[in-house]
Chains A and B, each alone.
Chain A
Amino acid sequence: MKTKTLLMASAISAIGSAACAEDYVIGVMSAQSGYLAPYDGPAYAGFQFCIDEINAKGGLNGTIPVRLIVKDTRSDIAVGVQVVQEMIDEGAEFIVSSADADPTIAAAQITAADMIPTMTFAGTAPVLTQVGPHVFGSYPADNQQAAVLAGYAREQGFESVWLVKSPDSAYTLGGPEYFGEAFSALGGKVVGESNYSLNQPDFSAIVTTIQGAATPPDLIVTWAWEPDFPAFIRALRGAGLDTQVMGGDVLDTPTIRGLGDVVTGVVHTSGGFPDEGSAYADFIDRFKAATGTEPDNNYYVNGCDIAHMIEQAIDAAGSTDPAAVSEAMAGIENGEGIMSNFTFAGTDRMPLRDVVVARISASGDKEFVLRQSADPAILPKP
C-alpha cells in the first residue's frame, strides 16, 4: 500500500513538473519599502499588468506562459543579492532587477555564472551594463537624456551652466556630468559645480555659493531626485534666484509637479509622453480600467515595455535558453514598445530610445516640448 502511494505521489509530482517546465519563469526584484519603492512599485505594477495580458493570450508569443517569482528587496542591496540567488534556485530564467544601477550591478554578479539575462526596471546609468553581456537597461540612458537636453538648452540660447550633482549615486553624478560634456561640445560653458549628499538636510549653502559666483550661470542642471530636488528648488527660489533649472527624468513625477510656483518653468527629460491616440494613451486607459489606478509616471509603461522586450527577445532567439535570449535581446533593432521603440543592436545594451523634453506649466501640468533621439556626435561615452 505504501509503495502504491509513493508511486502515485511520484507520478503526480512528475506530471506537475512537466506542466511547470513549460512556463517561462521570470524573477522580479521589487522593493516594496525604502528609497526604491517609489520607482519599483509602479514599474512592477506595469510589468505585471502586461504579463497578465500576455498570459491571457496564451503566453509569450501566444505559446509560452509566464510565471513570476516576486521578492521584496526592501531597497537593500544585500537583501537583493540574496533574493536573486533564491529566485535562480527556484528556476528563474530571466531577472528583472530594481530601478537603479547599484542593485542591478549586484544582481548581475549573481546571474553572470549562468548568463541569465538581467534587465533593470528603470536604472539609467550607462555603467550598469558593463558587468557583462547578459545585463540590459530598459529606459533611455542618462547620457542620451543629457545629450538631448543639452541640445535643447543650446537651441534656447543658454550659454553657461552650473551643475549640481551628488557623488552618492551613479545617476545623480553621471547625469549632470554627461550634460556638461554635451553642453560644452555644443559651445556652452560649465561655469561651476556643487556637490551634495543624498538626503542632504539643507541646500542653502549651495544656493548662496551660486548666488555669489563670479560668473552667474544662466542655467542650473541637476539630476537630484526627491526629496532633494524639492529642497533645492525651494532654497533656490527662496533666495530670490529665478535662474532656469533643468533636470533628468526623475523630475517627471506628480510630487515635483505638485510643488507649486517654485517649479513653474522647470524643464526635464522624460521617457515618453502620452499623446492623444498613441499606444501610450491606450495603455493608460487599459491600465486604469483594469486596476482603477491612473498611471501617473513613465515607470508603469516602461515596466510594460520590459514584458514586450522579453517577448521579442524570446521570439528572436527561438528558445528560452538564457544565453540565447541575452544574445537575441542584444540584437533587437527598432523593437516595438509602448512608451517608445527600442534598439539594442549596436549599443552596449542600454537601449536607444526617444527622449522627451517636457516643461512644468504654471498649473502644474507636464507640457510636451520635443521628442528626439540623442545625436551620436555629441553622445557622451559612459
Chain B
Amino acid sequence: MELLLQQIVNALSLGGIYAMLALGLAIVFSIVRLINFAHGELMTFGGYGIFLSMTFGFPPFAALVIGIGAALFMALAMERVTFRAMRGADVVSLLIASFAVSEILKVLFQNGISARPVPISFPSSWSGSYQIAGMTIGVVPTASILVTFASLGTLTFVLRRTAMGMAMRAAAEDFEMLRMLGVKANRVVAVSFAISGILAGIAAVIWTAQRGSVDPLMGFFPVLKAFISTVLGGLGSLGGAVLGGFVVGALEVLTQAFLPDRLAPYRDAIVLSAVIAALLIRPDGLLPAKTGARS
C-alpha cells in the first residue's frame, strides 16, 4: 500500500509537468490552430536561462525566475518573428513552420552553448526527503506537485475571472467573431503565447530540479508526451489537456513500477496502445473541445 501511494505521488509529479506542457500547447492551438512543436525548445531555453544565470552567480531562486522569464521571452519572440506572419495559414503549414523553428533552435543550442548536457547544481537541501505515514517523499516531487497545482489554479482564475482570460476563451470558441467585436487579435494571441511560455518555463524549472542538467534535446520528449496528452484529452480542450497530461503521467509511472520485467521493454508501446484504445472509444478525446476540433 505504501509503495502504491509513493508511486501515486510520482505519477502526480510527472503528470503535472505533462499537464502544464499540454496546457501550453492547447492554449495556443485553441486560438490560432497551431500545434507548436517548438514548445519543447521554450522549455529548453528556460533551462539554459537557469544554467546561465547560475553560472553568472545569481542565487538559485533568482535563477529559476530568470529561467521562466527566458521561456516567456522566447515564446513572445517566436510568435512575433514566425507565427504572426503566418496568421491564417493552414494547420499543416503552421505545423511545418513549428518543426523548422524547433530544429533551428536545437542547432543554435548545440553550437552556441554545448552539444553536451550542462549540469545545474541546486543546493543539496533541494534534493532532500521527508517521512510521512511511513513513506519517504522527495522534496522536489512535492514541490513539483504544489507548483503544478498552484500554476493550474492561477491559470484557471485568469481564464475565468479576468477580461483577457474571457477574451481568450471566446477566441478559442470563435476567433473571427471576437475580432468583429473589436478585441485586438494580436494581443490575445500574444498573451496565449506568453502563457504557454510561462507554463513551459515552470515545467523547465521542475524538470531541471528533478534531472540536474540541460541539453539541446531536453524539451523534445516531454513535449512529445504533452502532445499525446492534448490529443488524448481532446485537441483544443484546455481541461482535456490537463486531464490527458495526468493520465499519460500516471500510465508511464504505473507501468514502470508494476509491469513484469519481461514486459518492461514494451512499456512505451503499452502506454501508447492504451491511448489509442481510449481514442477509439472517445475519438474526440476524454474532454472534447466545444468547437469539436477532432483529434
Chain A residues at the B interface, C-beta cutoff of 8 Å: 32-33, 35, 37-38, 41, 167, 193, 195-197, 199, 201-202, 204-206, 208-209, 211-212, 226-227, 230-231, 233-235, 237-240, 253-262
Contact = CB atoms under 8 A, between A and B. Distances in A.
B115 interface: yes
A30 to B, nearest CB: 12
Contact of A255 (B6, B10, B117): B117
Given A37-B115, A202-B13, A260-B121, A231 B212 contact: yes
B139 A238 contact: yes
A108 B138 CA distance: 47
Interface in B102-141: 106-107, 110, 115-119, 121-122, 124, 127-129, 136, 138-141
Contacts of A33: 106-107, 110, 115
Interface in B196-212: 209-212
B267 A197 contact: yes
Contacts of A37: 110, 115-116
Contact of B210 (A202, A208, A261): A202
Interface string B236-253: 000000000000000011
A38 B264 contact: no
A254 B213 CA distance: 12
Contacts of B124: 260-262
B141 A262 contact: no
B53 to A, nearest CB: 16
B205 to A, nearest CB: 14
A197 B224 CA distance: 15
B211 A234 contact: yes
Contact of B117 (A41, A167, A230, A260): A230
Contacts of A193: 261
Contacts of B264: 167, 195
B261 A234 contact: no
Nearest to B262: A195
Given A237-B127, A261-B127, A201 B221 contact: yes
A238 B215 contact: no
Given A208-B6, A226-B116, A259-B212, A234 B256 contact: no
A201 B117 CA distance: 15
A230 to B, nearest CB: 4
Nearest to B142: A238
Nearest to B13: A204
Among B107, B110, B118, B256, which residue has the most Cβ atoms of chain A within 10 A? B256
